[in-house]
Structure 1
Amino acid sequence: MAVLPIRISGDPVLHSPASAVTEFDDELRTLVSDMFETMDAAPGVGLAGPQVGVPLRLFVYGWTDDDDVLHRGVAINPVLWISPAGTEELDEDLEAEGCLSFPGERFPLRRSESAILEAVDLEGQPFQVRADGWLARIFQHEYDHLDGVIYVDRLTHPFGKAAAKASRKNSWGVPGLSWLPGRDHLED
Protein backbone atom coordinates (compact mmCIF):
# COMPACT_ATOMS: atom_id res chain seq x y z
CA MET A 1 0.00 0.00 0.00
CA ALA A 2 1.09 3.56 -0.67
CA VAL A 3 0.01 7.10 0.01
CA LEU A 4 -0.61 8.79 -3.34
CA PRO A 5 -0.13 12.46 -4.28
CA ILE A 6 -3.43 14.37 -4.33
CA ARG A 7 -3.97 16.66 -7.31
CA ILE A 8 -4.83 20.30 -6.64
CA SER A 9 -7.49 22.38 -8.39
CA GLY A 10 -6.31 23.32 -11.87
CA ASP A 11 -5.02 19.89 -12.81
CA PRO A 12 -6.90 18.79 -15.97
CA VAL A 13 -7.81 15.37 -14.50
CA LEU A 14 -9.92 17.17 -11.88
CA HIS A 15 -11.85 19.17 -14.45
CA SER A 16 -12.78 16.43 -16.92
CA PRO A 17 -15.38 13.65 -16.67
CA ALA A 18 -13.90 10.30 -15.63
CA SER A 19 -14.26 7.06 -17.59
CA ALA A 20 -16.06 3.92 -16.44
CA VAL A 21 -14.06 1.21 -14.70
CA THR A 22 -13.93 -1.82 -17.00
CA GLU A 23 -11.20 -3.99 -15.45
CA PHE A 24 -11.84 -5.55 -12.03
CA ASP A 25 -8.36 -6.91 -11.36
CA ASP A 26 -5.45 -6.76 -8.92
CA GLU A 27 -4.43 -3.37 -10.28
CA LEU A 28 -7.84 -1.98 -9.31
CA ARG A 29 -7.63 -3.60 -5.85
CA THR A 30 -4.20 -2.01 -5.30
CA LEU A 31 -5.51 1.39 -6.43
CA VAL A 32 -8.47 1.17 -4.04
CA SER A 33 -6.20 0.10 -1.16
CA ASP A 34 -3.86 3.02 -1.89
CA MET A 35 -6.82 5.41 -2.08
CA PHE A 36 -8.04 4.32 1.37
CA GLU A 37 -4.53 4.78 2.77
CA THR A 38 -4.26 8.21 1.15
CA MET A 39 -7.71 9.31 2.38
CA ASP A 40 -6.91 8.19 5.92
CA ALA A 41 -3.48 9.88 5.91
CA ALA A 42 -4.85 13.19 4.59
CA PRO A 43 -7.16 12.91 6.67
CA GLY A 44 -10.36 13.02 4.68
CA VAL A 45 -13.79 11.38 4.51
CA GLY A 46 -13.74 10.65 0.79
CA LEU A 47 -11.39 10.48 -2.16
CA ALA A 48 -12.17 10.07 -5.87
CA GLY A 49 -10.00 8.52 -8.56
CA PRO A 50 -9.37 11.83 -10.38
CA GLN A 51 -8.00 13.33 -7.15
CA VAL A 52 -5.08 10.89 -7.32
CA GLY A 53 -4.65 11.36 -11.07
CA VAL A 54 -6.69 8.32 -12.13
CA PRO A 55 -9.53 9.37 -14.48
CA LEU A 56 -11.84 6.50 -13.50
CA ARG A 57 -15.34 6.55 -12.01
CA LEU A 58 -14.66 5.35 -8.48
CA PHE A 59 -14.38 6.80 -5.00
CA VAL A 60 -13.69 5.62 -1.49
CA TYR A 61 -15.31 6.97 1.64
CA GLY A 62 -14.92 6.57 5.38
CA TRP A 63 -16.85 8.48 8.00
CA THR A 64 -18.08 7.76 11.53
CA ASP A 65 -21.51 9.19 12.36
CA ASP A 66 -22.77 10.62 15.66
CA ASP A 67 -23.90 7.13 16.76
CA ASP A 68 -20.31 5.88 16.30
CA VAL A 69 -21.26 3.82 13.21
CA LEU A 70 -18.49 3.61 10.62
CA HIS A 71 -19.60 4.08 7.00
CA ARG A 72 -16.72 2.91 4.82
CA GLY A 73 -16.57 1.56 1.31
CA VAL A 74 -15.72 1.91 -2.33
CA ALA A 75 -18.19 2.94 -5.04
CA ILE A 76 -17.28 1.93 -8.59
CA ASN A 77 -19.21 3.26 -11.61
CA PRO A 78 -21.73 4.91 -9.29
CA VAL A 79 -25.08 6.48 -10.05
CA LEU A 80 -26.37 8.98 -7.50
CA TRP A 81 -29.98 9.94 -6.91
CA ILE A 82 -30.55 13.02 -4.75
CA SER A 83 -33.52 14.76 -3.20
CA PRO A 84 -34.14 18.43 -4.05
CA ALA A 85 -31.88 20.79 -2.11
CA GLY A 86 -33.46 23.24 0.31
CA THR A 87 -33.79 26.93 -0.43
CA GLU A 88 -33.33 28.37 3.04
CA GLU A 89 -30.31 30.54 3.89
CA LEU A 90 -26.98 28.71 4.05
CA ASP A 91 -25.69 27.81 7.50
CA GLU A 92 -22.02 28.78 7.21
CA ASP A 93 -21.00 26.33 9.95
CA LEU A 94 -23.21 23.28 9.39
CA GLU A 95 -22.97 23.36 5.59
CA ALA A 96 -19.25 24.10 5.27
CA GLU A 97 -17.21 21.52 3.44
CA GLY A 98 -13.63 21.17 2.37
CA CYS A 99 -11.82 19.25 -0.34
CA LEU A 100 -8.48 17.48 -0.43
CA SER A 101 -7.98 19.01 -3.90
CA PHE A 102 -8.53 22.51 -2.49
CA PRO A 103 -6.58 21.90 0.74
CA GLY A 104 -6.99 23.91 3.90
CA GLU A 105 -10.06 25.84 2.78
CA ARG A 106 -13.72 25.43 3.81
CA PHE A 107 -16.78 27.10 2.34
CA PRO A 108 -20.54 26.56 2.80
CA LEU A 109 -22.39 24.81 0.02
CA ARG A 110 -26.03 23.76 -0.20
CA ARG A 111 -26.38 20.03 -0.83
CA SER A 112 -29.36 17.71 -0.91
CA GLU A 113 -30.22 16.24 2.48
CA SER A 114 -30.61 12.68 1.21
CA ALA A 115 -29.20 10.52 -1.55
CA ILE A 116 -29.27 6.99 -2.90
CA LEU A 117 -25.96 5.63 -4.13
CA GLU A 118 -26.03 2.73 -6.60
CA ALA A 119 -22.64 1.28 -7.56
CA VAL A 120 -20.63 -1.91 -7.77
CA ASP A 121 -17.94 -3.14 -5.40
CA LEU A 122 -14.44 -4.50 -6.11
CA GLU A 123 -15.96 -7.80 -7.23
CA GLY A 124 -18.34 -6.08 -9.64
CA GLN A 125 -21.33 -6.83 -7.39
CA PRO A 126 -24.04 -4.15 -7.32
CA PHE A 127 -25.09 -2.49 -4.07
CA GLN A 128 -27.20 0.41 -2.90
CA VAL A 129 -26.77 2.80 0.05
CA ARG A 130 -29.45 5.20 1.24
CA ALA A 131 -27.81 8.17 2.96
CA ASP A 132 -28.94 11.24 4.85
CA GLY A 133 -27.11 14.24 6.23
CA TRP A 134 -23.33 14.22 6.16
CA LEU A 135 -23.02 10.85 4.39
CA ALA A 136 -25.31 12.13 1.61
CA ARG A 137 -23.05 15.21 1.38
CA ILE A 138 -19.94 13.01 1.10
CA PHE A 139 -21.52 11.00 -1.73
CA GLN A 140 -22.52 14.17 -3.61
CA HIS A 141 -19.06 15.71 -3.16
CA GLU A 142 -17.20 12.62 -4.40
CA TYR A 143 -19.65 12.00 -7.24
CA ASP A 144 -19.05 15.56 -8.47
CA HIS A 145 -15.34 14.73 -8.82
CA LEU A 146 -16.25 11.96 -11.26
CA ASP A 147 -17.98 14.53 -13.46
CA GLY A 148 -15.03 16.96 -13.35
CA VAL A 149 -16.59 19.28 -10.76
CA ILE A 150 -14.86 20.53 -7.60
CA TYR A 151 -17.12 21.84 -4.85
CA VAL A 152 -15.73 25.38 -5.23
CA ASP A 153 -17.18 25.36 -8.78
CA ARG A 154 -20.64 25.24 -7.18
CA LEU A 155 -20.18 28.04 -4.62
CA THR A 156 -22.46 31.07 -4.69
CA HIS A 157 -21.48 34.67 -3.98
CA PRO A 158 -19.64 35.71 -1.82
CA PHE A 159 -18.09 32.28 -1.19
CA GLY A 160 -17.16 31.64 -4.82
CA LYS A 161 -15.28 34.93 -4.85
CA ALA A 162 -13.44 33.97 -1.65
CA ALA A 163 -12.51 30.58 -3.14
CA ALA A 164 -11.14 32.25 -6.28
CA LYS A 165 -9.08 34.58 -4.09
CA ALA A 166 -7.72 31.60 -2.09
CA SER A 167 -6.81 29.85 -5.35
CA ARG A 168 -4.90 32.90 -6.61
CA LYS A 169 -3.18 33.41 -3.23
CA ASN A 170 -1.97 29.78 -3.24
CA SER A 171 -0.99 29.90 -6.95
CA TRP A 172 -3.42 27.07 -7.73
CA GLY A 173 -5.45 26.71 -10.90
CA VAL A 174 -2.58 25.40 -13.01
CA PRO A 175 -1.71 21.86 -14.13
CA GLY A 176 0.75 19.71 -12.22
CA LEU A 177 0.25 20.74 -8.60
CA SER A 178 -0.21 18.08 -5.93
CA TRP A 179 0.45 17.42 -2.27
CA LEU A 180 1.38 14.28 -0.42
CA PRO A 181 -0.41 13.58 2.88
CA GLY A 182 2.11 13.39 5.71
CA ARG A 183 4.14 16.31 4.37
CA ASP A 184 3.72 19.95 5.31
CA HIS A 185 4.18 21.42 1.83
CA LEU A 186 2.64 21.15 -1.59
CA GLU A 187 4.54 19.45 -4.39
CA ASP A 188 4.79 20.51 -8.01
Structure 2
Amino acid sequence: MAKRDERELLQRWQAGDAEAGNELVIRHFDAVRLFFLNAVSDREREDLLQETFKRVVAAVGTFEGRSSFRTFLFVIARRTLYDHLRQRYRGKGQFDEMTHSVVDQGASPSHLVTQIESHRRLLQCLRGLPVQTKELLELYYWQDMTGNELAEIQGIPERTLRSRLGTARKALRDCFVRCAPAAGDADEPDLEGALRELGEFFRTGRG
Protein backbone atom coordinates (compact mmCIF):
# COMPACT_ATOMS: atom_id res chain seq x y z
CA MET A 1 0.00 0.00 0.00
CA ALA A 2 1.66 3.19 -1.15
CA LYS A 3 1.59 6.01 1.38
CA ARG A 4 0.95 8.57 -1.33
CA ASP A 5 -1.99 6.54 -2.60
CA GLU A 6 -3.48 6.36 0.89
CA ARG A 7 -3.06 10.11 1.40
CA GLU A 8 -4.81 10.73 -1.89
CA LEU A 9 -7.69 8.48 -0.88
CA LEU A 10 -7.95 10.28 2.43
CA GLN A 11 -7.98 13.71 0.78
CA ARG A 12 -10.67 12.58 -1.65
CA TRP A 13 -12.72 11.19 1.24
CA GLN A 14 -12.41 14.45 3.15
CA ALA A 15 -13.55 16.25 0.00
CA GLY A 16 -16.71 14.17 -0.07
CA ASP A 17 -15.74 11.13 -2.14
CA ALA A 18 -17.50 8.30 -0.29
CA GLU A 19 -16.03 5.68 -2.63
CA ALA A 20 -12.49 6.68 -1.59
CA GLY A 21 -13.52 6.41 2.05
CA ASN A 22 -14.99 2.98 1.46
CA GLU A 23 -11.73 1.80 -0.11
CA LEU A 24 -9.74 3.03 2.90
CA VAL A 25 -12.10 1.28 5.29
CA ILE A 26 -11.84 -1.99 3.33
CA ARG A 27 -8.03 -1.82 3.43
CA HIS A 28 -7.95 -1.60 7.20
CA PHE A 29 -11.08 -3.52 8.16
CA ASP A 30 -9.40 -6.87 8.87
CA ALA A 31 -6.67 -5.24 10.97
CA VAL A 32 -9.24 -3.53 13.20
CA ARG A 33 -11.19 -6.77 13.43
CA LEU A 34 -8.02 -8.49 14.62
CA PHE A 35 -7.49 -5.74 17.21
CA PHE A 36 -10.75 -6.77 18.92
CA LEU A 37 -10.29 -10.52 18.44
CA ASN A 38 -8.65 -11.44 21.75
CA ALA A 39 -10.54 -8.88 23.82
CA VAL A 40 -14.25 -9.52 23.32
CA SER A 41 -16.75 -12.08 22.07
CA ASP A 42 -17.66 -12.42 18.41
CA ARG A 43 -20.94 -10.51 18.83
CA GLU A 44 -19.27 -7.70 20.76
CA ARG A 45 -16.50 -7.55 18.19
CA GLU A 46 -18.95 -6.88 15.37
CA ASP A 47 -20.62 -4.15 17.45
CA LEU A 48 -17.26 -2.54 18.21
CA LEU A 49 -16.23 -2.69 14.57
CA GLN A 50 -19.38 -0.83 13.56
CA GLU A 51 -18.91 1.74 16.31
CA THR A 52 -15.26 2.28 15.43
CA PHE A 53 -15.91 3.00 11.77
CA LYS A 54 -18.90 5.15 12.65
CA ARG A 55 -16.56 7.26 14.78
CA VAL A 56 -13.96 7.31 12.00
CA VAL A 57 -16.52 8.65 9.54
CA ALA A 58 -17.53 11.33 12.05
CA ALA A 59 -13.92 12.35 12.77
CA VAL A 60 -12.22 12.03 9.38
CA GLY A 61 -12.95 15.65 8.47
CA THR A 62 -10.84 16.81 11.42
CA PHE A 63 -7.86 14.55 10.66
CA GLU A 64 -4.92 16.77 9.68
CA GLY A 65 -2.59 14.06 8.41
CA ARG A 66 0.18 14.57 10.96
CA SER A 67 0.27 10.81 11.46
CA SER A 68 -0.68 7.91 9.19
CA PHE A 69 -4.32 7.06 8.63
CA ARG A 70 -3.64 3.69 10.28
CA THR A 71 -2.49 5.42 13.46
CA PHE A 72 -5.56 7.70 13.41
CA LEU A 73 -7.80 4.65 12.93
CA PHE A 74 -6.27 2.64 15.76
CA VAL A 75 -6.46 5.55 18.18
CA ILE A 76 -10.21 5.52 17.57
CA ALA A 77 -10.45 1.71 17.79
CA ARG A 78 -8.57 1.82 21.09
CA ARG A 79 -10.90 4.45 22.53
CA THR A 80 -13.90 2.45 21.38
CA LEU A 81 -12.60 -0.67 23.15
CA TYR A 82 -11.80 1.23 26.33
CA ASP A 83 -15.26 2.82 26.39
CA HIS A 84 -16.76 -0.64 26.05
CA LEU A 85 -14.61 -2.09 28.84
CA ARG A 86 -15.40 0.84 31.14
CA GLN A 87 -19.09 0.17 30.62
CA ARG A 88 -18.56 -3.50 31.42
CA TYR A 89 -16.65 -2.59 34.59
CA ARG A 90 -19.33 -0.18 35.81
CA GLY A 91 -20.42 -1.05 39.33
CA LYS A 92 -17.06 -2.64 40.20
CA GLY A 93 -15.09 0.58 40.58
CA GLN A 94 -13.05 2.57 38.09
CA PHE A 95 -11.62 0.77 35.08
CA ASP A 96 -7.86 1.22 34.61
CA GLU A 97 -6.34 -0.12 31.40
CA MET A 98 -2.89 -0.24 33.04
CA THR A 99 -3.98 -2.65 35.77
CA HIS A 100 -7.19 -4.38 34.70
CA SER A 101 -7.33 -7.17 32.14
CA VAL A 102 -10.09 -8.22 29.75
CA VAL A 103 -10.59 -11.21 32.06
CA ASP A 104 -11.38 -8.77 34.88
CA GLN A 105 -14.17 -7.36 32.72
CA GLY A 106 -15.71 -10.79 32.24
CA ALA A 107 -15.15 -10.49 28.49
CA SER A 108 -15.49 -13.74 26.55
CA PRO A 109 -12.89 -14.53 23.87
CA SER A 110 -13.70 -15.02 20.20
CA HIS A 111 -14.66 -18.57 19.20
CA LEU A 112 -11.45 -18.73 17.14
CA VAL A 113 -9.27 -17.97 20.17
CA THR A 114 -10.86 -20.79 22.16
CA GLN A 115 -10.21 -23.28 19.34
CA ILE A 116 -6.43 -22.83 19.22
CA GLU A 117 -4.89 -25.64 21.26
CA SER A 118 -1.21 -25.18 20.40
CA HIS A 119 -0.97 -21.71 21.92
CA ARG A 120 -3.76 -21.89 24.49
CA ARG A 121 -1.51 -21.05 27.45
CA LEU A 122 0.02 -18.09 25.60
CA LEU A 123 -3.41 -16.69 24.71
CA GLN A 124 -4.62 -17.14 28.28
CA CYS A 125 -1.60 -15.23 29.56
CA LEU A 126 -2.19 -12.45 27.04
CA ARG A 127 -5.80 -12.10 28.17
CA GLY A 128 -4.69 -11.98 31.80
CA LEU A 129 -2.31 -9.05 31.25
CA PRO A 130 -3.44 -5.46 31.83
CA VAL A 131 -5.41 -4.28 28.80
CA GLN A 132 -2.76 -1.74 27.77
CA THR A 133 0.04 -4.33 28.05
CA LYS A 134 -1.91 -6.92 26.05
CA GLU A 135 -2.75 -4.31 23.42
CA LEU A 136 0.89 -3.30 23.07
CA LEU A 137 2.10 -6.86 22.44
CA GLU A 138 -0.69 -7.66 20.00
CA LEU A 139 -0.22 -4.48 17.97
CA TYR A 140 3.54 -5.03 17.82
CA TYR A 141 3.55 -8.74 16.98
CA TRP A 142 0.20 -9.23 15.24
CA GLN A 143 -0.09 -5.93 13.37
CA ASP A 144 3.66 -5.33 12.74
CA MET A 145 3.42 -1.77 14.05
CA THR A 146 6.55 0.31 14.51
CA GLY A 147 7.63 1.84 17.79
CA ASN A 148 6.73 5.26 16.46
CA GLU A 149 3.20 4.17 15.51
CA LEU A 150 2.66 2.53 18.90
CA ALA A 151 3.94 5.60 20.73
CA GLU A 152 1.47 7.79 18.80
CA ILE A 153 -1.43 5.43 19.47
CA GLN A 154 -0.67 5.26 23.19
CA GLY A 155 0.17 8.96 23.39
CA ILE A 156 3.63 8.52 24.95
CA PRO A 157 7.26 9.21 23.91
CA GLU A 158 8.85 6.42 21.87
CA ARG A 159 11.53 5.88 24.53
CA THR A 160 8.79 5.24 27.10
CA LEU A 161 7.07 2.94 24.63
CA ARG A 162 10.23 0.86 24.18
CA SER A 163 10.54 0.49 27.94
CA ARG A 164 6.91 -0.58 28.23
CA LEU A 165 7.37 -3.11 25.45
CA GLY A 166 10.26 -4.71 27.32
CA THR A 167 8.19 -4.80 30.51
CA ALA A 168 5.28 -6.32 28.58
CA ARG A 169 7.46 -9.11 27.18
CA LYS A 170 8.72 -9.92 30.67
CA ALA A 171 5.20 -9.97 32.12
CA LEU A 172 4.05 -12.37 29.41
CA ARG A 173 7.07 -14.63 29.88
CA ASP A 174 6.62 -14.68 33.67
CA CYS A 175 2.98 -15.69 33.27
CA PHE A 176 3.84 -18.35 30.70
CA VAL A 177 6.44 -19.94 32.98
CA ARG A 178 4.21 -19.62 36.05
CA CYS A 179 1.33 -21.38 34.27
CA ALA A 180 3.47 -24.22 32.92
CA PRO A 181 2.42 -27.80 33.69
CA ALA A 182 3.88 -29.28 36.87
CA ALA A 183 6.67 -31.01 34.97
CA GLY A 184 7.68 -27.69 33.47
CA ASP A 185 9.11 -26.99 30.03
CA ALA A 186 12.64 -28.13 29.41
CA ASP A 187 13.41 -25.47 26.82
CA GLU A 188 13.20 -21.69 26.99
CA PRO A 189 9.97 -20.78 25.17
CA ASP A 190 10.23 -18.70 22.00
CA LEU A 191 7.31 -16.44 22.90
CA GLU A 192 8.13 -13.80 20.31
CA GLY A 193 8.11 -16.44 17.58
CA ALA A 194 4.85 -17.85 18.93
CA LEU A 195 3.26 -14.39 19.00
CA ARG A 196 4.24 -13.77 15.39
CA GLU A 197 2.93 -17.20 14.44
CA LEU A 198 -0.42 -16.39 16.04
CA GLY A 199 -0.55 -13.06 14.23
CA GLU A 200 0.07 -14.81 10.92
CA PHE A 201 -2.61 -17.38 11.73
CA PHE A 202 -5.20 -14.70 12.49
CA ARG A 203 -4.25 -12.60 9.46
CA THR A 204 -4.84 -15.46 7.03
CA GLY A 205 -8.54 -14.77 7.26
CA ARG A 206 -9.48 -17.45 9.74
CA GLY A 207 -10.31 -14.79 12.38
Taking structure 2 as the reference length, what is the TM-score of the superposition?
A: 0.29
Which structure's residues are more often strand, by fraction? 1
**Relative contact order, higher structure (CA 8 A, sep 6+):** 1
Higher helix share: 2
How does the TM-score come out when normalised to structure 1? 0.31
